[in-house]
Amino acid sequence: MASWKGIYFILTLFWGSFFGSIFMLGPFLPLMFVNPSWYRWINNRLVATWLTLPVALLETMFGVKVIITGDAFVPGERSVIIMNHRTRMDWMFLWNCLMRYSYLRLEKICLKASLKSVPGFENSKARSNAFAEKNGLQKYEYVLHPRTTGFTFVVDHLREGKNLDAIHDITVAYPHNIPQSEKHLLQGDFPREIHFHVHRYPIDTLPTSKEDLQLWCHKRWEEKEERLRSFYQGEKNFYFTGQSVIPPCKSELRVFVVKLLSILYWTLFSPAMCLLIYLYGLVRWYFIITIVIFVLQERIFGGLEIIELACYRLLHKQSHLNSKKNE
């Protein structure tokens, strides 16, 4: 049964995302066609303001405790994060970790489209075991077998363009309750504690061949399995690794202030936009036209990121041709 906490959480995130897309991101859409780099710079920062909202609600309103151990993040470092998944919501809980290291505006999530419909860990675990049995691999209890094709593709291309500094291997664990899906959050079942253990691998320590990189990734998941077994069968923390809590680059006071400002801003933002729509006809027209644009671009092109990438490639190609003419 839905609880007031769950309803408040879901509705606050939805309306903030909805009105934020229209009234914060919408005005900058034309910039995408003129200067995609500037559009991306602005977009990242605007989206990051919304990403602080679920962090603020989870920790300030619902008392979720976050503990981070292991290696420190380097602010601004270009990194690929690999993480085990115990629930459908791990990607959102990760924001609680990343906000403390100024990574929210840089984070991009890569998932297979088919994963949108995966119902939960237990169902995925059955598929993972079937995959392990088919390929003669060890069956896991606490993690799912990694599909390494996407990982090696991303790492190879980023490394080729000299756009990768490190891999951050994050192990996430829940010592108490483990909400599996959005349904559990709607019922007010928020995790009491979330533990993140971070291991940083500089890019020059990774193997260069595709096959060795796949083996390297499988090795990390074997380590995760053992780490999580020790976590759940022991005292339910990662202190047994010998690595203490990581000091964040932001003080807890600063994190607390950011969370309070986020709740204040987004609590006022959505009602204020509704008031503007009600009072001004011009705002109503902008609101309707922007919604139509967002719906059409999704139906026709498959998402703004596709259009943005096409604009970047076109302008980059023109710039390259112009430089050749000048030579």
Mean pLDDT of 229-239: 91
d(CA 178, CA 193): 9
Single pTM value for the model: 0.88
**43-52, 67-76, 106-115, 171-180: least confidently modelled range:** 106-115
- What's the pLDDT tens digit per position in 145-160? 888 888 999 999 999 9
Residue pair 170/196 in contact by the 8 Å Cβ criterion: yes
Number of H helices, E strands in the chain: 11, 4
Q: Which residues pair with 81 in a beta bridge?
A: 168
- What's the pLDDT tens digit per position in 106-134? 888 776 655 555 555 656 777 777 777 77
Residue pair 190/58 in contact by the 8 Å Cβ criterion: yes
Quick one: what percent of the chain has pLDDT higher than 70? 91
Mean pLDDT of 242-247: 67
